[in-house]
Amino acid sequence: MGRLTFIRMQIDLSPFHYLLPLLILGLVFGCSARIPETTSPSSTYASDKNRNGAFEQRLHEAEQSLAREIQAAPSETEKYLRRAEILEILQLEKEALQVLGQALNSSPTPSQKQKLIYRMAVLRALKLGDNAAAAQDLEQLTPESLFRLDAEAAVEIARNNPEAALRHLAQAASLAQNHDEQALVLYHQALAFQKMGEEDKAVAALYHAINRAENRVLIKDIERLWEVLDTRSP
């Protein structure tokens, strides 16, 4: 998946113009950005709505296809992870958590098991509001690992302790080994800064995150946080 570099507008120097949310959406769709022809607002809205609807339909079809593949080969852990990823993009978080739980019974490798538990912890903390269960998940993650530190940060964000979250994320950042891991830490830093009311810092973190992110769920989460921050820009 290609990576887009967001530009800062020369006319408006507000930090919220570091990002172009429509281009983030283009990343999720897997299509290149283009300048639309002059159309009426109503026709543009209808066109965008149709494209979004078609995209969601393709996601539902892909999710159902993976469900059938899992039924046929229940020991292939990666398919559970991909199915849960699609469900998260569709904002079906409870269903995604259920699939991740099922994957724990698919004979995952030790590294796959750590990833599954990490995904469950972050999902519970940030999207399902179940900090008690997320805290229990933490105990199964390797101490001082990237997964453990980042999940601990997610729990602290959910507890409204952004300063503690940033301390965990500073340690996690030193362990990130690829662009996606770096982007994940940056995204969670943006969430912590948002909790602190430091929206300029949140936008800066998102700017760096989107230029590294490759995971589809992460890209969509960045887009959604951008939309929240953008509605608050002066």
What share of the chain has pLDDT > 70, as a percent?
Answer: 77
Lowest mean pLDDT among 15-29, 155-169, 208-222: 15-29
Q: Provide the whole-model pTM.
A: 0.78
Task: Domains for the chain: give ranges and CATH numbers.
Answer: 142-234 (1.25.40.10)
Lowest mean pLDDT among 52-66, 93-107, 141-155, 179-193: 52-66
Look at residue 6 in the predicted model and tell me its pLDDT: 44
Span 18-27, average pLDDT? 39
In the chain, what is the greatest distance between 2 CA atoms, to the nearest angstrom? 56
| pLDDT level of residue 116 (50, 70, 90 thresholds) | very high
Look at residue 94 in the predicted model and tell me its pLDDT: 98
| The amino acid at 149 | L
CA–CA separation, 214 and 206 (whole Å): 14
DSSP states of 89-141: HTT-HHHHHHHHHHHTTS---HHHHHHHHHHHHHHHHHTS--HHHHHHHHTTS
CA–CA separation, 107 and 92 (whole Å): 25
Span 6-31, average pLDDT? 38
Look at residue 50 in the predicted model and tell me its pLDDT: 64
Which two structure tokens, joined as six digits, stand for 50? Answer: 């149709």
CA distances from 154 to 67, 161, 191, 212 (A): 29, 10, 9, 20
**For 54-68, how does the pLDDT look when each residue is reduced to its tens digit (9 = 90+)?**
889 999 999 999 999
Look at residue 234 in the predicted model and tell me its pLDDT: 58
Span 180-197, average pLDDT? 97
Q: How many C-beta atoms surround the C-beta of residue 123 within 10 A? A: 23
Task: Please state, rounded to an integer, the average pLDDT across all residues of the chain.
Answer: 84
Look at residue 146 in the predicted model and tell me its pLDDT: 98
